[in-house]
Amino acid sequence: MSKRIKTIYALLFVALVLHPHFVDHIGPVARPYAQSSVILLLSGIAYAVYRLHQREIQKSRILQEGLRISEEKMVEAFTYLGSVNRRLPLLKQVSTDLLTESKTTKRGKKTVFDNLLAVAVNSIAQSHFGLLRFIEVNTGRTVKEFWHADREDASPLQRVGNRELLALREQAPNRKGTSGFNVVPTSDKEATVQGFLVLPLQNGGLKDQYSFLQALVDQSQLLYKYLFV
């Protein structure tokens, strides 16, 4: 309660206590009625002040809630910008460095996708193994597949079916998962051969990593067309 409101309430209380000593009669109105009128007037003033005070409190709460939401959004924005800045050096790895790799031999082409998959698995998803698979949509046949694993106990031998992967394309972003895996499909839904990144299922899903992984899968889709089609 503000100091101004406290002062008004104090003055009204004093007036309520002392008014019998000053109110005799008001014109033809007898003293009891005059005193009752004064009490009614003071009560009305007190109620009006109370309502105004409540309105100020409500406005203050709305303002505080707006400030809280703004602060949360700012924290989220700075967190996101921080994650973007940390991943900026990866752009060189998945663009310039990849393009400088030799792509004339079968081994050179495989190295390009191995490096791209390593960035997705280790640097972005922070996982221990992952799979990049290209599936022919009409037949459900695997046409290309690349594995990455950085330790022996992260066995990449578990399999996920192509039908499951193709069925997951219509799910909402960051909700794509099946049989203990997270799946990031390419954004190119019209391609006859489409790429899928398969990662181990993580607590809380991929969250902020999904957009970065989506970009890498889309880049691998373009590289597939460039190198194999």
Residues 6+ apart with CB under 8 A from 196: 131, 132, 133, 134, 135, 165, 183, 184, 185, 186, 217
Secondary-structure breakdown of the chain: helix, strand, coil percentages, each rounded to the nearest 5: 60, 15, 25
Q: DSSP string of 39-72?
A: HHHHHHHHHHHHHHHHHHHHHHHHHHHHHHHHHH
Between 78 and 76, where is the model more confident? 76
* SS3 of residue 202 by DSSP: coil
Q: What is the pLDDT of residues 15-73, one digit of tens each?
A: 766 666 566 655 565 666 566 666 777 777 887 877 777 777 787 788 777 767 766 76
Task: Give the chain's mean pLDDT.
Answer: 75
pLDDT at 56: 77
Cα 190–chain centre separation: 28
Residue 203 pLDDT level (bands cut at 50, 70, 90): low
Q: What percent of the chain has pLDDT over 90?
A: 12
* pLDDT in the model for residue 22: 61
Write the DSSP symbol of residue 128. S
CB atoms closer than 10 angstroms to residue 131: 23
Q: What is the pLDDT of residues 133-170, one digit of tens each?
A: 999 999 999 999 998 887 665 555 457 888 888 888 77
29's tokens: 């109105």
Q: Cα(4)–Cα(36) distance, rounded to whole angstroms?
A: 27
- Judged against a pLDDT cut of 60, whether residue 77 lies above it is answered with no
